[in-house]
């Protein structure tokens, strides 16, 4: 795990999944019925900055592809550690363990992390999908990485910080 983010940087993340069933199918109820509670937990967690949501309060209705079962989640956190703690050390963790109940088994990376300037607007979903494609095509690197292979934030003195 990398150290805390230096001032001026936050960590953005996107994860995607393909649901086994339509979101209104009873077999998705365990997931769908918990969204509000888990989203509230995220927003109340230390280090939380922002999450993608529509007027319903979540992002499951956002259609970024032609696939109606493609689901996306995006958020921004102060540090990698804060995001990790929410994902793997909170009431969110059991849902990761039940992922196979609701989503197809992935054959490629489904989560990507990258650094953004703390004073920038939250990333848009297209940027998240681009970062995920970068990770899938080139493996972990400074522009797209994972918890298992994290990268430090760009040098705040570097000339090209927008490459982050």
pLDDT digits (tens, 9 = 90+) for 9-58: 999 999 999 999 999 999 999 999 999 999 999 999 999 999 999 888 88
Q: How far apart are CA 104 and CA 93, in angstroms?
A: 18
pTM > 0.85: yes or no: yes
10: which 2 tokens?
């936050």
**Domains annotated on the chain, with CATH:** 9-163 (3.30.70.100)
pLDDT tens profile 84-137: 999 999 988 888 889 999 999 999 999 999 999 999 999 999 999 999 999 999
Q: By C-alpha distance, which of 62, 70, 160, 53 is closest to 115?
A: 160
């Amino acid at each position: 795990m990398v150290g805390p983010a230096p001032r001026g940087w936050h960590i953005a993340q996107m994860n995607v999944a393909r649901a086994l069933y339509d979101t209104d199918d009873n077999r998705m109820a365990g997931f769908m019925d918990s969204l509000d509670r888990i989203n509230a937990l995220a927003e109340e967690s230390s280090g939380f900055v922002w999450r993608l949501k529509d007027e319903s309060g979540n992002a499951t209705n956002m259609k970024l592809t032609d696939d109606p079962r493609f689901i996306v989640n995006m958020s921004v956190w102060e540090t990698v550690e804060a995001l990790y703690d929410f994902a793997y050390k909170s009431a969110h963790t059991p849902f990761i363990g039940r992922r196979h109940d609701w989503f197809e088994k992935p054959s490629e990376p489904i989560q990507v992390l990258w650094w953004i300037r703390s004073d920038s607007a939250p990333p848009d979903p297209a940027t998240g999908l681009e970062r995920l494609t970068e990770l899938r095509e080139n493996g972990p690197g400074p522009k797209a990485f994972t918890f298992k292979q994290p990268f430090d934030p760009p040098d705040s003195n570097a000339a090209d910080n927008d490459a982050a």
